[in-house]
Structure 1
Amino acid sequence: MKFLAITLIVHRPDPVTGVQKPTHARFREVLDNALFAEELGFDGFGVGERHERPFISSSPTVVLSHVAALTKRIRLFTAVTTLSLLDPVRAYEDYATLDHLSNGRLDLIIGKGNGAAQRDLFHVTPEDQWDRNAESYEVFRKIWRQDKVTADTRFRPPLTDAEVWPRPYQQPARVWHGSATSKESVDLAARYGDPLFSANVTNPIEPYAELIRYYRERWEHYGHDPAQIAVGAGTAGIYVAPTSQEALAAYRPVFESNLAFFKKAGLPVVFETLEDFAEHSSALIGSPQQVIDKVHRYHEQFGHTVLHLHADAGGLTESQHRASLELFQSKAAPVLRREIPDPPFVWGPVLAAPPLTQESVHV
């Protein structure tokens, strides 16, 4: 199993202390968390893309380029690239550039995105956002693979023998499809034989498991090899401590503050108590063994081989958050790596096979 640390770069007052960091300090924190994730041995670091309050993740390519310059090994993920809002030509240019600067460490997770404010900002409607997402991905995919592209598009000017530069480093970059609530993204992933990444954050397990089952059905419907399926899944929070009692005690202020925020904002509340949240959500709150057991329970339903954890403290103190990730990596991750397989592909740059030469041909 592989592990990602992911941030959406939420920028609002700390849910426990009420203190909000300056924007510059919040970005600095993201960079520090990326370095810490690489130091701990995480396999990937992801940055979201949102274009509305309270997020400052509107330019993930810029953030990930800085992370690429500071790190050496860790793979860089988008979480998610909102292709329904973007011109696929411009998005390709940005991500192909990032792919070169990172020496092929880029993986994308794409999706239509959430939030009415960002839809309004880009003049996208709920009725056309799925069509925009599919069209943008189809054009983006073509540009990555073809030196000249012709596309009769609805949502941007058509392309005729268009050349887009730079040509990419990876052949091609791996694209995951983010899935939260709808079958459209799941079907798009299955149609192209791409991996799926389940949000797996807000609700109990069943709605996400149902979408993943549908993905597997559609994968086979489109004629792909079931052995090549790869699924990733998110988590609703993390705090690992030596005992469950310590974990619950430390996380309780975070949960209660978030609960109060949801109620005040009129947002739906799925889990009314910390105990219910720890038991029935995807959050990993407990001892290392409890965390291992929960990931296995989810794996039985999802068959996932990649798991994302929160890169941000999110109301925990910095020392609590770092100690939790250290304990996860030292006690839980080695067991999960051993007991749950990796995705069915090399975790590294996707490069074209070198051409055959006389020296490499054996008769």
Structure 2
Amino acid sequence: MRFLAITLIVHRPDPVTGRQKSTHDRFREVLDNAVLAEELGFDGFGVGERHERPFISSAPTVVLSHVAALTRRIRLFTAVTTLSLLDPVRAYEDYATLDHLSEGRLDLIIGKGNGTAQRELFQVTPEDQWDRNAESYQVFRQLWRQDRVTARTRFRPELTDAEVWPRPYQRPVRVWHGSATSKESVDLAARYGDPLFSANVTNPVEPYAELIRHYRERWEYFGHDPADIAIGAGTAGLLVAPTTQQALAAYRPVFEANLAFFRRAGLPVVFETLEDFVARSSALIGSPQQVIEKVHRYHEQLGHTVLHLHADAGGLTDTQHRDSLELFQSAVAPVLRKDIPDPPFPWAPVHPAAEEPPHV
């Protein structure tokens, strides 16, 4: 099994203390967390893309380029690239450049994105967002694979024998499809034989497991080998401590502060108590053995071989957060790496053959 640390770069007051870092300090924290993730042995570091409050992750390629310069081994993920909002030509140029700067350490997780404010900002409607996502991915995919592209499009000017530079480092790049609650992303992933990344953070496991069953059915329908399926899944929270009691005591202020925030904001509350949250959500809160057992239970339902954890403290103190990540890597990750297989593809960058110089 492989492990990612992911941030959406939420920029709001600390749920427990009420203090809010400056924008500059919040970005520095993200960079520090990326370096820490590599230091502790995580396999990937992901940055989300959102274009609305309270996120400041509107330029993930810029952030990941800086992370690439600070790290050497860890793979870099987008979580997710909101292709329904983007011009696929411009997105290709940004990510092909990042692919070179990171020396082939880039994986993309794509999705339509969500949120009314960012849809309005880009003039995307609920009715056309899925069609935009599919079209943008089809064009993006062609651009990555072909030196010249012709594409008949609805949502951007058509392309006729177009050349787009730079040509990428990885050919092709691995693209995961982020899925939360709808079958459109699942169907798109299955059609192209791409891996799926389940959000798996808001609800109990059942709706996510149902989508993954659908993905497996569609995968075979499109003629792909079931042995090639790769699935990732998220977690709703993390706190690993030597004992259950210590983990619950440390996480309780975070849970109660977030619960109060959801109620003030009029957001739906799925888990009313910390005990219910620990029992029925994907959160990994407890002793190392409890966390190992819970990941195994989820693996039985989802069959995932990649797991994402929160890169941010999210209300924990910096010491609590680091201690939890260190204990996860020392006492949990080694067991899960042994028990659960890796995805069915190489994880390290595959260095491409030397490119021929362009013809002038």
TM-score by length of 1: 0.97
Within-5 A mapping of 1:210-359:
210-351=210-351
- Deviation string 1:44-64 (CA, Å, 9 cap, x unpaired) is 000000000000000000000
1:205 corresponds in structure 2 to 205
1:361 corresponds in structure 2 to none
Within-5 A mapping of 1:157-236:
157-236=157-236
Within-5 A mapping of 1:42-121:
42-121=42-121
Tell me, in whole angstroms, the C-alpha distance in 2 between the residues paired with 1:308 and 1:191.
24
Q: In 2, are the aligned partners of 1:134 and 1:188 still within 8 Å (CA)? A: yes
- Deviation string 1:137-187 (CA, Å, 9 cap, x unpaired) is 000000000000000000000000000000000011100000000000000
Q: 3-state DSSP class of the match of 1:202?
A: coil
Tell me, in whole angstroms, the C-alpha distance in 2 between the residues paired with 1:199 and 1:258.
19
Q: In 2, are the aligned partners of 1:171 and 1:350 still within 8 Å (CA)? A: no
Q: Letter of the aligned partner of 2:48 in structure 1?
A: G
Q: Letter of the aligned partner of 1:303 in structure 2?
A: G
User: Aligned-pair distance for 1:348?
Assistant: 2.0
Q: 3-state DSSP class of the match of 2:269?
A: coil
- Deviation string 1:82-112 (CA, Å, 9 cap, x unpaired) is 0000000000000000000000000000000
Structure 2 unaligned blocks of 5 or more: 356-360
Q: Letter of the aligned partner of 1:248 in structure 2?
A: L
- Deviation string 1:3-35 (CA, Å, 9 cap, x unpaired) is 000000000000000000000000000000000
Q: In 2, are the aligned partners of 1:78 and 1:109 still within 8 Å (CA)? A: yes
Q: In 2, are the aligned partners of 1:172 and 1:351 still within 8 Å (CA)? A: no
Q: In 1, are the aligned partners of 2:5 and 2:309 still within 8 Å (CA)? A: yes
TM-score by length of 2: 0.98
Q: In 2, are the aligned partners of 1:172 and 1:350 still within 8 Å (CA)? A: no
2:145 corresponds in structure 1 to 145
Tell me, in whole angstroms, the C-alpha distance in 2 between the residues paired with 1:352 and 1:18.
48
Q: In 2, are the aligned partners of 1:174 and 1:350 still within 8 Å (CA)? A: no
User: Aligned-pair distance for 1:290?
Assistant: 0.3
User: Aligned-pair distance for 1:349?
Assistant: 2.0
User: Aligned-pair distance for 1:351?
Assistant: 4.8
Q: 3-state DSSP class of the match of 2:64?
A: helix
Q: Letter of the aligned partner of 1:42 in structure 2?
A: F
Q: Letter of the aligned partner of 1:125 in structure 2?
A: T
1:13 corresponds in structure 2 to 13
Tell me, in whole angstroms, the C-alpha distance in 2 between the residues paired with 1:242 and 1:146.
52
Tell me, in whole angstroms, the C-alpha distance in 2 between the residues paired with 1:284 and 1:160.
50
User: Aligned-pair distance for 1:354?
Assistant: 8.4
Q: 3-state DSSP class of the match of 2:26?
A: helix
Q: In 1, are the aligned partners of 2:78 and 2:109 still within 8 Å (CA)? A: yes
Q: Letter of the aligned partner of 2:157 in structure 1?
A: P
Tell me, in whole angstroms, the C-alpha distance in 2 between the residues paired with 1:309 and 1:83.
23
User: Aligned-pair distance for 1:352?
Assistant: 5.0
Tell me, in whole angstroms, the C-alpha distance in 1 between the residues paired with 2:131 and 2:341.
35
Q: In 2, are the aligned partners of 1:173 and 1:350 still within 8 Å (CA)? A: no
Q: 3-state DSSP class of the match of 2:308?
A: strand
- Deviation string 1:280-327 (CA, Å, 9 cap, x unpaired) is 000000000000000000000111000000000000000000000000
Structure 1 unaligned blocks of 5 or more: 356-363
Q: Letter of the aligned partner of 2:139 in structure 1?
A: V
Q: In 1, are the aligned partners of 2:169 and 2:352 still within 8 Å (CA)? A: no
Q: Letter of the aligned partner of 2:44 in structure 1?
A: G
Give the number of equivalent residue pairs. 355
Tell me, in whole angstroms, the C-alpha distance in 2 between the residues paired with 1:151 and 1:72.
37
Tell me, in whole angstroms, the C-alpha distance in 2 between the residues paired with 1:313 and 1:246.
17
Tell me, in whole angstroms, the C-alpha distance in 2 between the residues paired with 1:353 and 1:233.
33
1:156 corresponds in structure 2 to 156
What root-mean-square deviation, in Å, do the aligned CA atoms of Structure 1 and Structure 2 show? 1.0
Tell me, in whole angstroms, the C-alpha distance in 2 between the residues paired with 1:114 and 1:250.
31
Q: In 2, are the aligned partners of 1:240 and 1:286 still within 8 Å (CA)? A: yes
